[in-house]
Amino acid sequence: MKDDARPGTRVVAAGRRREWTGGVVSTPVWRASTILYDSVADLRESAGRDTHHRLFYGRRGTPTQWSLADALTELEPGAEATFLYPSGVAAIAAALFSVLSPGDELLLVDSAYDPTRSMATGLLRRFGITTRFYDPMVGAGIAGLIGPATRAILMESPGSLTFEVQDIPAIVAVARERGIATLLDNTWATPLLLPAIGMGVDLSILACTKYVVGHSDVMMGSVTAAPSHWNRLRQTSFELGQVVSPDDAWLGSRGLRTMAVRLRHHEASALRIARWLQTRPEVARVLHPALPSCPGHETWARDFNGSSGLFSVVLAGGGEAARAALIDGLDLFGIGYSWGGFESLAIPVDPHRHRTATPPDFAGPLVRLQIGLEDPDDLIADLAAGLDRFAAALG
Ligand SMILES: Cc1ncc(COP(=O)(O)O)c(C=O)c1O
């Protein structure tokens, strides 16, 4: 593949080295715990050499995992390498432990995925690491929050549930000046829509469970590191014993090959549906980064190459019962948490329960939608009937 290949070409070609594929198209599943050596001398010599892309012990991976990790690295211009984890949350944990030590402070965006918050206030606190939550719209104002113990800033853009878009370049510029590590949960955009390492982020995190896998049947996470942060990330991940099964890595690679086309469909359908929802009287506001009604929309327009399929809708009034009437009767939307697959989903979300720094000021209840690969006209018809049920429940 040429150095200037575009992202849509990279997802197809990346990570498929001939020495790993053996001449077939995709790297096959290499299952291993034990690696055999030719002699005692060979075994001794292997212990001292770099195991990157070399068989050593099952936990260090085989070509199946290396192939997916390399492909993800190749989507992030300027990145050094990628480590894979058995879930997105495991990836977040390894990334944080690679940059934080007891006595340090983490600045964590208030709109972060809730289990990320719990990790900070639970596990990290037990290890003597404190967390300060910050407003997702803080931008360069992050400088005012940095204290003597601040060592890392974790961003998630757009935010979970409420989709505020953060000013990543402004935060990265401040962090660089102060020698603070920057981490980004880039699951919503993927490197195709936001090449984070190229924007100066040190550790770019994906819940591969979502768009990389794309079929709602594998849990996986990844962290792609800038050269300055790779060795610490890799060592921390080895010490935590992290490894993904080769079968899951193979499914991850299979999903990745179609990620660019899937994202284009998710984007077009989600935008169409989001715009239609804006015209409905039952909808107070649509929180979709590509629409001006979303906080940080201008930042999205400046920094992102597109949008994906997940957004929230603020309903015009009503409570739990009316919201449930909308969701429960949907035919094509499943009710489930993990998004990024080929199928549409709808869930009630209550961001007020999680926020501590900046309570969101929405009047009505929220529904989060994942727009899948179904025909958008069918999805619109399903949602229209749902909004009618919602209006009827309001009385
Ligand atoms: C933004 C975001 N980050 C991380 C995760 C965690 O990923 P996983 O479910 O693979 O642990 C999720 C899961 O929903 C998510 O939405």
Q: Which of 16, 117, 151, 210 is catalytic?
A: 210
Tokens of 294: 């979303």
Q: Which of 6, 17, 44, 59 is catalytic?
A: 59
Our mutation pick for probing the ligand 1 site, out of 87, 111, 113, 222, counting the most ligand atoms within 8 A of Cβ, is 113
Task: Tell me what pLDDT residue 148 has.
Answer: 98
Amino acid of residue 106: L
For residues 99-106, give the mean pLDDT: 98
Residue 378 pLDDT > 90: yes
How far is residue 159's CA from residue 276's CA, in Å, rounded to a whole number? Answer: 23
For residues 11-19, give the mean pLDDT: 95
For residues 267-294, give the mean pLDDT: 98
For residues 29-47, give the mean pLDDT: 96
Task: Tell me what pLDDT residue 359 has.
Answer: 84
For residues 96-101, give the mean pLDDT: 98
Amino acid of residue 207: A
Catalytic-residue membership of 59: yes
The more confidently predicted of residues 157 and 50 is 157
- Residue 240 Cα to chain centre, angstroms: 21
Highest mean pLDDT out of 44-53, 149-158, 356-365: 149-158
User: With contact defined as beta carbons under 8 Å apart, do 282 and 387 qualify?
Assistant: yes
Tokens of 65: 């995992």
DSSP state of 334: B
Task: Tell me what pLDDT residue 363 has.
Answer: 79
For residues 120-146, give the mean pLDDT: 98
DSSP state of 39: S
Give 310's pLDDT tier (boundaries 50, 70, 90): very high
Tokens of 162: 């409420």
DSSP-assigned beta bridge partners for residue 71: none
Helices 246-256 and 63-74 pack at an angle, to 10 degrees, of 30
Asked if residue 195 has a cis previous peptide bond (ω within 30° of 0), the answer is no
Give all strands of the β-sheet with 345-349 in edge-to-edge order.
283-287, 310-315, 366-370, 345-349
User: With contact defined as beta carbons under 8 Å apart, do 194 and 289 qualify?
Assistant: no
Catalytic-residue membership of 210: yes
pLDDT in tens, 334-377: 999 999 999 999 999 999 888 999 987 787 899 999 999 999 99
Residue 177 pLDDT > 90: yes
Query: By C-alpha distance, which of 80, 77, 74, 46 is closest to 60?
Result: 46
Give 277's pLDDT tier (boundaries 50, 70, 90): very high
Residue 2 pLDDT > 90: no
The CA 175 to ligand 1 mean position distance, Å, reads: 25
CA 51, 56, 59: angle at the middle one, nearest 5? 95
**How much of the chain is helix, strand and coil, in % rounded to 5?**
40, 15, 45
The CA 89 to ligand 1 mean position distance, Å, reads: 6
pLDDT in tens, 197-248: 999 999 999 999 999 999 999 999 999 999 999 999 999 999 999 999 999 9
Residue 179 pLDDT > 90: yes
Pocket of ligand 1 (CB under 6 A): 87-89, 113, 156, 160, 185, 187, 207, 209, 219, 221, 338
- Region of residue 142 (left: phi > 0; alpha: psi -120 to 50; beta: else): alpha
What φ, ψ does residue 164 adopt, rounded to 5°? -65, 135
Task: Tell me what pLDDT residue 264 has.
Answer: 98
Task: Tell me what pLDDT residue 353 has.
Answer: 86
Which parts of 271-394 are beta strand (E)? Answer: 283-287, 310-315, 345-349, 366-370
Task: Tell me what pLDDT residue 395 has.
Answer: 79
